[in-house]
Structure 1
Amino acid sequence: MVHLYIVIFTLIASLVLAGPVPSQEQNTRLWQPNLDGVWVNLCKYLPQSLKSFCSRDGVTQCPTTYTPFGPANGVVNSPFVNRFVVKYASAQRWQPSTMATAWQLPSEATNISMLPPMCPQPYVSDTTYSEDCLAMVLYVPSSLTDTSSVPTLVWIHGGSFMVGSASNPGLDGSALAQATGSIVAVIQYRLGALGFISPNGETNLGLKDVVNGLQFLHNVLPNFGGDKSKITLAGQSSGANMIRALLAVPSAQSLFQSAILHSDPMDYGFLSVSDQQQLQDYFVSLLPCQVSDAACLDALSVDEIVNNIGLNQFFNASRIVPAATQMEPMRVVNDGSFITSTLDSSSPFPTVSKSILLSNVKDEAGYTIYGEFPNPVSQSEYQAIVNLSFGETRSQSLLSTQSYAVQTPTASDYRPQLEVLGTDSVFRCATWTFARNWVSHGGTAYVGMYTVGASYPGNSQVPYCTQPGVVCHQDDIEVVFGTVQNPTAAQSALITEVQARYKSFMYDGDPNPSGTSYSEWQAAGTSAVNAILLGSSGEAPIGACAPDFWGSSVQYDYQIFDI
């Protein structure tokens, strides 16, 4: 019987190879006029015992879709979802990228089963990254055809604009794509000293990379069954910061419909042109080349740029420009031309219209506070830390308010207050202020807080983040993607709820799916933000995030530094 199948297989292959070549407009999900395509699609008709004939590089190659840029060959990533890797843009070092015009793999790769190399970043082997890294990974439900019209979720990874990639833990989009019936795209962009600071004064290179990625998607989504008018951006931490920047880029507004921002450190704001100039001057001083010596700059090794010059810049930037902060010293710049608004309370807020979803986790600052202070913090140490971090004027107001006051009788450990203060100032209250501003100027905002999470890889380095009930920064990622290993009942329930709400939001900008028993998620108002608890019932307590405290009585960093 095996021999008979092989004979039939060979006969059909010869007939197909002699057949007509489909036009560019024709979706070739079934037939491809090349040997790879014939091999891939004939494999579908073989019995399971012969499927091994179809395996190349250890992965069964099956899906092929024709795009305006050529055939897109992918792999079966799960029983119901196919995965495609593509290079969406090219860039010379420290130059703006240009959108790709051909479907190809990054770094001249030939193995379609491999995830793309990371963009250059510190602390990883140079064998894992490449400057030719402007790639995205598409997760496409196998049920889709070119006549489908489903939304697309574009995920922008975090990592302080210094690290991260589309292959970060938990970012396999298969479960999310299947649950939402949507296409999930996870995108990479240039990082650190190659994406956000340059000797020639170019700014926002990493951000402009993402814009090219969105433009690329507009060209190819219909071929995969996606509706290019229904693109939702989503991201976490600096990835969410990137999305907030894109909301302030007029030329990008037609490229996406709505946005989901997880744990954006909104307290930091965008960098000003003057601050960026000081940082650039310092960066240039670190270079072993003259700015005008292009040959010397091009000859610098990636390792020298990333691990020596880049890390020097990262660790010393806040000493040169306090507004740079210690966590995101290289980030997007409000240049006044590409980005035209600060999108915060330090300048007039523009008229907006998009629907956005904003969320935080319960213990955003837990990893930082308990990682920086592994031992209990005394009352005097607590007061000194607050004074050093916020200055005398703000610290007096903070220490006199109930949420952050010195306790009586004296507590033995003030790390809990520090954690709440860090969460409120950098993340939660700043997010609530942004929501009010967004709604006040024409947009729609939904606000939430995760009270259940899944400890993200690496967070276990800080024991506090593994305690029951604690939800640290990044602990929402695997919940969203449905990639939690051995989830508890509470985690499973939240995964199902969040993915259902995402699906509803991607279609019409409202995270309230019909036909479910989930509580109504009310939109934020100009005063009350109605922050729903994700993982438990009710809404988050206001605490110090009232309109008359943070951003008013006590200013955020972006107000203090006038950026």
Structure 2
Amino acid sequence: MVFYSIICILSSLLLGSLSQASPASREFSNSGVSLSSLDSKSWFCHIIHTTLAQKLCLREGSSTISLNTPIGAAQGVVDVSGVNRFAAKYASAERWSPSSVVTEWALPNDSTNVSALPLICPQPFVDNSTFTEDCMSMILYVPATLHAHSSVPTLMWVHGGSFIVGSATNPGLDGSALALATDSIVAVIQYRLGALGFVAPNNQTNLGLGDAVNALKFLTTVLPSFGGDPSKITVAGQSSGANLIRALLAVPSAQSLFQSAILQSDPMDYGFLSSSDQVQLQQYFVSNLGCTATDSACLNALTADSIVNGAGLWQFNSSVYVVPAATQSEPMRVVNDGTFITSTLDSTSPFPRASKPILLSNVLDEGGYTIYGSFPSPMPEAEYVAIVNASVGESRYEALMGSQSYAVGTTQNDDYRPKLQVLATDSVWRCATWTFARNWVSNGGTAYVGLYSVGASYLGNSAVSFCTEPGVVCHQDDIEIVFGTALNPDSAQSALITEMQARYKSFLYSGNPNPDDSSYADWQAAGDSDVNAIMLGSTGYAPIGACTPSFWGQSVAYDYQVFNI
């Protein structure tokens, strides 16, 4: 029997993370795995153009700044009071080839405008004038008080978007407030996405991941010139960005490039793709490309737009039918190739020795946007039973129905969406994250685990009314809390922004999210059985529910175990 995860059938975070919370409507197919996102193009184009229009121009009263680096003069602008902003190209590459770190400082897009921010990487649902294949760029936010001998830490942030959309200029990712609050440098990067970054006709794998490694190499070269210590880099990301961070933890050659990691809302249930699955996906991609894998003239003649909106978009929507392990949410993603990546970093193979401190977090209602966006009306018991059975297969279904967390019975107003939302949240995100934390700790590492009970509604999440209800925290609602970019935050949001930025500062400097002499609750490290997950935004610990060591990963397999990847 073919198994599909809850999220495979009910979502492709596609255009919830895909377009960073697109309010696109969705359709559910009773046959099992078709969930289409309807016209998010106009919405996302509006966001991109609005955001860039606001940020590409120098703010009133701002000025330019220049400083010397080992690879040339870095030119930037005073972005806000107390912060200097530098946009830079960190690497370059030929199409479907590994990237190389730049040897001279250059502005993105071959621009001569110091205030210009990077064009985004090629992706669907946007006007092709907004992207370029020469997109391996980053934005550095540097407190103006720093000088060449400051030696402060750096946070390198990787955006989400299901590995198919997103950029360093996504809403909410202005790193100015975070840099000031943490007394650190914040670098927000972008990397090759989708078919151009993860599915190559020539069998190249992990090109997008290689870009991120080169971003780290670039930082180690230039950071001292900005007042940063290259030995104090923390990598961080949300959703597929967190997935990429987890992949960096599995790249031996990258371990000397960063000291710690922060993973927010990583869908760990999916796992990395296997090499054998990737071969099938690559062959399928070529069959839809209109060129043979060896016809370089034909491949080079393809426009980026035709790749991402043609074969690439088809690949995203159809891969799950070719290789079920691909999922509908991240079918083009990191591959466990055995050379660049040498571990699955999950429960399917021996876990490597770990040493770095990591911080892992989820939000209270990770699956809320998907479930309530897909099912706007109350869900009766019969529909819930049918969906769960079709989603996970008979054996896993029986085990789930035996759990109090997911079993049928009396529910409020005969609506099973709350249970389905908990099941999606637990299986794809929360319990998978807790299992990862236990594995990390059991093999020598240190992990801190948290659950956001307060968030700031991310752009587009309001399209699903559930995500606007009091006490609900949907996927992505943690982003603007961490960055301090929430508009008109209420008192609870303001308090959590202050707390999280204080905790991140402590983690960047010491690997421990407990600031010295603070009144915040002690955030205990996870153990190999109890992960000690604290509530972020309220007091106490997160309820364990079904996230016990004996249930998910043991009694009920994760998707990466079912597919043996």
TM over 0.5: yes
Aligned residue for 1:432? Answer: 434
Aligned residue for 2:160? Answer: 158
Structure 2: distance between partners of 1:399 and 1:495: 38
For the Cα contact (< 8 Å) 1:318–1:325, is it kept in 2? yes
Tell me whether 430-439 or 289-298 shows the greater mean CA deviation.
289-298
Aligned residue for 2:182? Answer: 180
Aligned residue for 2:82? Answer: 80
Alignment of 1:9-20 (within 5 A): none
Match of 2:393 among 391, 394, 418: 391
For the Cα contact (< 8 Å) 2:67–2:75, is it kept in 1? yes
Structure 1: distance between partners of 2:68 and 2:411: 70
The answer for unaligned runs of 5 or more in structure 1 is 1-54
Structure 1: distance between partners of 2:76 and 2:60: 13
For the Cα contact (< 8 Å) 2:238–2:264, is it kept in 1? yes
- Return closer, same or farther for 1:213/1:410 CA change in 2, 3 Å cut-off: closer
Aligned residue for 2:460? Answer: 458
CA-to-aligned-CA distance 1:489-530 (integer Å, 9 cap, x gap) = 000000000000000000110000001100100000000000
Aligned residue for 2:559? Answer: 557
Structure 1: distance between partners of 2:411 and 2:315: 44
* Cα drift, residue 410 of structure 1: 8.0
Aligned residue for 1:303? Answer: 305
* Cα drift, residue 63 of structure 1: 2.0
Q: Which amino acid aligns with 1:249?
A: V
CA-to-aligned-CA distance 1:55-95 (integer Å, 9 cap, x gap) = 98977333211001100010011101010000000011000
For the Cα contact (< 8 Å) 1:379–1:411, is it kept in 2? no
Structure 2: distance between partners of 1:270 and 1:168: 25
Aligned residue for 1:328? Answer: 330
For the Cα contact (< 8 Å) 1:76–1:83, is it kept in 2? yes
Aligned residue for 2:550? Answer: 548
Structure 1: distance between partners of 2:136 and 2:60: 25
Aligned residue for 2:245? Answer: 243
Aligned residue for 1:510? Answer: 512
Aligned residue for 1:265? Answer: 267
**Which one scores higher on RCO, CA 8 angstroms, separation ≥ 6?**
2
Q: Which amino acid aligns with 1:153?
A: L
Q: Which amino acid aligns with 2:360?
A: L
Match of 1:479 among 473, 478, 481: 481
Match of 1:97 among 86, 96, 99: 99
Structure 2: distance between partners of 1:209 and 1:167: 17
- Return closer, same or farther for 1:480/1:56 CA change in 2, 3 Å cut-off: closer
Aligned residue for 2:20? Answer: none
Alignment of 1:24-423 (within 5 A): 60-408=62-410, 411-423=413-425
Aligned residue for 2:491? Answer: 489
For the Cα contact (< 8 Å) 2:58–2:115, is it kept in 1? no
Structure 2: distance between partners of 1:512 and 1:221: 26
Tell me whether 106-115 or 490-499 shows the greater mean CA deviation.
106-115
Matched residue SS, 2:128: coil
Q: Which amino acid aligns with 1:422?
A: A
The answer for unaligned runs of 5 or more in structure 2 is 1-56
Matched residue SS, 2:393: helix
CA-to-aligned-CA distance 1:189-247 (integer Å, 9 cap, x gap) = 00001000010000000000000010000000000000111000110000000000000
CA-to-aligned-CA distance 1:511-551 (integer Å, 9 cap, x gap) = 00001100100000000000010000000010000000000
Q: Which amino acid aligns with 1:501?
A: R
For the Cα contact (< 8 Å) 2:59–2:79, is it kept in 1? no
For the Cα contact (< 8 Å) 2:58–2:79, is it kept in 1? no
For the Cα contact (< 8 Å) 1:523–1:530, is it kept in 2? yes
* Cα drift, residue 311 of structure 1: 0.7
Matched residue SS, 2:448: strand
Structure 1: distance between partners of 2:59 and 2:463: 35
* Cα drift, residue 485 of structure 1: 0.4
Structure 2: distance between partners of 1:270 and 1:62: 43
Structure 1: distance between partners of 2:412 and 2:421: 17
Matched residue SS, 1:295: helix
CA-to-aligned-CA distance 1:336-393 (integer Å, 9 cap, x gap) = 0000000000000011100000000000000111111111111000000000110000
Q: Which amino acid aligns with 1:270?
A: F
* Cα drift, residue 106 of structure 1: 2.0
Matched residue SS, 2:155: strand
Runs of 4+ deviating beyond 6 Å: 55-59
CA-to-aligned-CA distance 1:253-277 (integer Å, 9 cap, x gap) = 0000000000000000000001001
Matched residue SS, 1:401: coil
How large is the Cα RMSD of the aligned pairs? 1.1
* Cα drift, residue 408 of structure 1: 2.7
How many correspondences in the alignment?
A: 509
For the Cα contact (< 8 Å) 2:123–2:164, is it kept in 1? yes
* Cα drift, residue 467 of structure 1: 1.1
Structure 2: distance between partners of 1:292 and 1:180: 50
* Cα drift, residue 114 of structure 1: 1.5
CA-to-aligned-CA distance 1:315-346 (integer Å, 9 cap, x gap) = 00001111000100000000000000000000
Matched residue SS, 1:551: coil
Tell me whether 109-118 or 403-412 shows the greater mean CA deviation.
403-412
Structure 2: distance between partners of 1:554 and 1:56: 54
- Return closer, same or farther for 1:409/1:350 CA change in 2, 3 Å cut-off: closer
For the Cα contact (< 8 Å) 1:155–1:185, is it kept in 2? yes
Q: Which amino acid aligns with 1:390?
A: V
Structure 2: distance between partners of 1:391 and 1:554: 11
Q: Rg: which structure is higher?
A: 1
Matched residue SS, 1:431: helix
Aligned residue for 2:522? Answer: 520
TM-score of the superposed pair, with normalisation by structure 1: 0.89
Structure 2: distance between partners of 1:58 and 1:533: 40
- Return closer, same or farther for 1:64/1:362 CA change in 2, 3 Å cut-off: same
* Cα drift, residue 110 of structure 1: 1.2
Q: Which amino acid aligns with 1:366?
A: G
Aligned residue for 2:3? Answer: none
Q: Which amino acid aligns with 1:174?
A: S
For the Cα contact (< 8 Å) 1:63–1:74, is it kept in 2? yes
Structure 2: distance between partners of 1:58 and 1:534: 37
Q: Which amino acid aligns with 1:350?
A: P
Matched residue SS, 1:127: helix
For the Cα contact (< 8 Å) 2:446–2:526, is it kept in 1? yes
Tell me whether 406-415 or 205-214 shows the greater mean CA deviation.
406-415
Structure 2: distance between partners of 1:476 and 1:409: 29
Structure 2: distance between partners of 1:248 and 1:127: 35
Matched residue SS, 2:535: strand
For the Cα contact (< 8 Å) 1:57–1:113, is it kept in 2? no
